[in-house]
Homo-oligomer: A and B are copies of this chain.
Amino acid sequence: MADNKKLVAEITSMDEDFTQWYTDVCIKADLVSYSNIKGCMVIKPAGYAIWELIQKHLDARFKETGVQNAYLPMFIPESLLQKEKDHVEGFAPEVAWVTHGGLEPLTERYCVRPTSETLFCDYYKGEIHSYKDLPQVLNQWCSVVRWEKETRPFLRSREFLWQEGHTAHATMEEAEERTQQMLNVYADFLENDMAIPVIKGQKTDKEKFAGAEATYTVEALMHDGRALQSATSHNFGDGFAKAFGIQYAGKDNQLHYVYQTSWGLTTRTIGAMIMVHGDNSGLVVPPKIAPIQVVVIPIQQKKEGVLEAARDIEKSLSDYRVKTDDTDRTPGFKFAEQEMRGIPVRVEIGPKDLEAGKCVLVRRDTREKIECAISEVSAKVGELLDTIQKDMYARAKKHLEEHTFAAHNKEEFADAFKETKGFVKAMWCGCQECEDKIKEDYNVTSRCIPFEQEKLSDTCVVCGKPATKMVYWGRAY
């Protein structure tokens, strides 16, 4: 087991240094590699395979709601970016500018898309003429660029992968319905497939998307008590439509502006998965998005019949994503690797097991060992994957609940951020001055105004004036 210890010893403990633990897991689990392009990452096969499964599950959910995929250009002419005032102010300081095409300078510089509202508006202006052309419900899977100063794998990088949905509707009601529908799609995906519980709510005006009338968010809590905004859905009202002149002739033969939405989820979801489920041995991947769900590890594989038995078990597990590790490394090394990569179940089979017609299943999440007749391995693994998925969600949910605190007044609010880490719920008057003051005093931001409101007291924890809303506060990635 010497090499087992060695591999595991290379990760920093999460209690000692959570930031370093995160980086270690990203690198040691082979998810990413730093590139020589500052602030950009290489997503390696083990990381990209998770993204492919995220895409598959999410895309299927999108298509069930009538979303169609499309692809728009990666460049935005500067004049197009400038059409919506709030939007350009939000994004212009952090875009990459293309100034030359081939050997010639461009007459107008282009930015590489940081997000594609302006491009979709430009496209919809040409496509939408009559109420018959509505709704338009498009999505694209692509990469975007934001020139961040401080970067970390998956959480914040100059280029990242995402999907961005952009829709246009005849009425504000329909736009609002779509905005909320997509937020629910994200919540459902995150909770059921990623086993990540989320708080659904609305962003304050200060925190909303540049150009949006309302931004909704799903907020998750990481193991270290910091929040991570996991997906957002925006209702633009007719603001972009007015800036870009997107009008349709209604049944009343009058021209009307359209109402628009956008919504996105990025590769940072992989970062959330790491920080919600990981432990000191490495990744723990929820079965539904695990590229490999089961690894079969033969013990003393040179002994007669062992390798064959391992391969037979692999065959009997063909309903799952399974592989046999028949490399010439020691079992201890293979166990450590399975743990580091977060493969949900490993099956151990050695000469003695074989004699007894048994094998041993080991859960990654709890390390529980389960003896199992070889003939029943397929049924048992199926059950176990379901159980692991549910248990991972339940543990994360418990962590979220245990790290959410209610502050009924100023003192409790101050204490909450002194002593503990997590979400703090508190009443708010609704004015930005109080929001700014909280950020200044405690270095936390408003995460959302949750849909599930509670009345903790009558007054704002900052100014003492009448409270209008309960807000979740926290330190965020």
Contacts and interface: CB of A to CB of B under 8 A. Distances in A.
A101 B110 contact: no
A52 B36 contact: no
Contacts of A145: 74
A99 B102 CA distance: 13
A45 B72 contact: no
A210 interface: no
From A74, A94, A143, A145, residue with most partner B Cβ within 10 Å: A74
Interface in A91-123: 93-103, 110, 112, 119, 122-123
A35 B96 contact: no
Interface stretch (A63-71, A218-226, A467-475): A63-71
A138 interface: yes
Contacts of A42: 70-73, 123
Contacts of A97: 98-101
B103 A96 contact: no
Interface residues of A, number: 51
A52 B77 contact: no
Contact of A33 (B94, B95, B127): B127
Contacts of A112: 74, 98, 112
Contact of A93 (B44, B102, B123): B102
A40 interface: yes
B102 A94 contact: yes
A147 interface: yes
A299 to B, nearest CB: 22
A19 B271 CA distance: 49
A325 to B, nearest CB: 14
A384 interface: no
Interface string A212-240: 00000000000000000000000000000
A284 B103 CA distance: 40
14 contacts: A35-B73, A36-B122, A37-B110, A42-B71, A43-B72, A48-B69, A51-B71, A73-B159, A74-B112, A95-B102, A96-B102, A101-B147, A102-B147, A142-B143
Interface of A: 33, 35-37, 40-45, 48-49, 51-52, 68-77, 80, 93-103, 110, 112, 119, 122-123, 126-127, 138, 142-143, 145, 147, 158-159, 161
